Amino acid sequence: MALEIESVLVAGRGPAASAVVSACTRLGVKAVAVYSEAERSARHVRLADDAVLLGPAPASESYLAVHRIVEAARRSGVRAVLPVTPALAGNARLAAAVADAGLLWVGPDAEVLERLGGDGVEPASESGFLAWVTPEGLRFVTPVARDRAAGIARVSWTPEGWAATGALDLPPAARRLAEVGWRGLVTVGISPDGGLAEVAAGFSLDIAVLERAHGVDAVELALSSTATTSGSQPAGRTPRAAVAAQLRATLSAGTPGRITGRLPSGPQPGPAADVDLVAVSGFDPGDRLDGWYDALLGSVSAAGPDTRTAAAAVSGVLSALPDVGVPHDGADTSAVLERLAIGSGVPTG
| Structural domain count, the chain | 3
Asked if residue 232 is part of any domain, the answer here is no
Asked if residue 347 is part of any domain, the answer here is no
pTM: 0.93
Asked if residue 346 is part of any domain, the answer here is no
Measured between its terminal Cα atoms, the distance across the chain in Å is: 41
Asked if residue 1 is part of any domain, the answer here is no
Query: Which stretches of 48-85 are DSSP H helices?
Result: 66-76
Tell me how far apart the alpha carbons of residues 182 and 86 are, in angstroms, rounded to a whole number: 14
| pLDDT value at residue 349 | 42
DSSP string, 118-142: TT-PPP-SSEEEEEEEETTEEEEEE
Strand order in the sheet with 184-190: 196-200, 184-190, 127-134, 137-149, 152-157, 241-248, 296-304, 276-281, 266-268
Give the CATH number, domain containing residue 282: 3.30.470.20
Tell me how far apart the alpha carbons of residues 245 and 315 are, in angstroms, rounded to a whole number: 9
Length of the chain: 349
What lies within 8 Å, CB to CB, of 276 at 6+ separation is 212, 215, 240, 267, 270, 302, 303, 304
Using the 3D structure, point to which of 83, 117, 151 is the last residue of a domain. Answer: 117
Using the 3D structure, point to which of 117, 139, 160 is the last residue of a domain. Answer: 117
Asked if residue 334 is part of any domain, the answer here is yes
| pLDDT value at residue 118 | 56
Q: What is the pLDDT along the chain (349 residues), one digit of tens a residue?
A: 457 899 999 999 999 999 999 999 999 999 999 999 999 999 999 999 999 999 999 999 999 999 999 999 999 999 999 999 999 999 999 999 999 999 999 999 999 999 886 566 778 788 999 999 999 999 999 999 998 776 677 899 999 889 877 778 888 889 889 999 999 999 999 988 888 888 999 998 899 999 999 999 999 999 999 876 666 678 889 999 999 999 999 998 889 899 999 999 999 988 888 999 999 999 999 999 988 887 899 999 999 999 999 999 999 999 989 899 999 999 999 999 999 998 865 554 4
What radius of gyration, in Å, describes the C-alpha atoms of the chain? 19
Residue 298 carries which side chain, given as an amino acid letter? G
Q: How many helices (H) and strands (E) does the chain have?
A: 11, 16
Q: Which domain holds residue 188?
A: 127-224
Tell me how far apart the alpha carbons of residues 187 and 152 are, in angstroms, rounded to a whole number: 14
Using the 3D structure, point to which of 56, 85, 117 is the last residue of a domain. Answer: 117
